[in-house]
Amino acid sequence: MSIASALRSRTAEPVMTRQPNEFDLMRVSRSLEQRERYKYVTPKVLSVADGYLVRSPCCSRNIDPEGGEIDVALLTWDEARREWSLARRDHEADCWVEDGRFARLGELLMRLNADPARQFWQ
């Protein structure tokens, strides 16, 4: 190893990821208690790369006839754009569909909790 590369590796700042973190994980979990749909089930919030995955039992049995857990929403932070992305699960196509982008996590959570067209909580 050359002296220059040794100095670069010693002075390089550690890469810090903004998301996921424990504070926002709890914030998302607590916010979901205010949702308007399927208030009688307890969703799970899991940490994933750059954000959070919301999973919930399928009480309507529209997606899973046996009532198993289904993916509800994917919340991801885009560091380059400095914004949040909210995606909903298209269960028929088995893919994520972007629902919107938000400057603040609170705005995203309001959208997810309201869900007027029942696109998330099915």
Distance, in Å, from the CA atom of 13 to the CA atom of 32, rounded to the nearest integer, reads: 36
Pairing between β-strand 69-78 and β-strand 44-48 as defined by DSSP bridges: unpaired
Distance, in Å, from the CA atom of 57 to the CA atom of 117, rounded to the nearest integer, reads: 19
Higher pLDDT, 10 or 51: 51
Average pLDDT estimate for 86-96: 94
Coarse DSSP helix, strand, coil percentages of the chain, rounded to the nearest 5 percent? 25, 30, 45
pLDDT tens-digit readout, 20-45: 999 999 999 999 999 988 888 899 99
Higher pLDDT, 62 or 51: 51
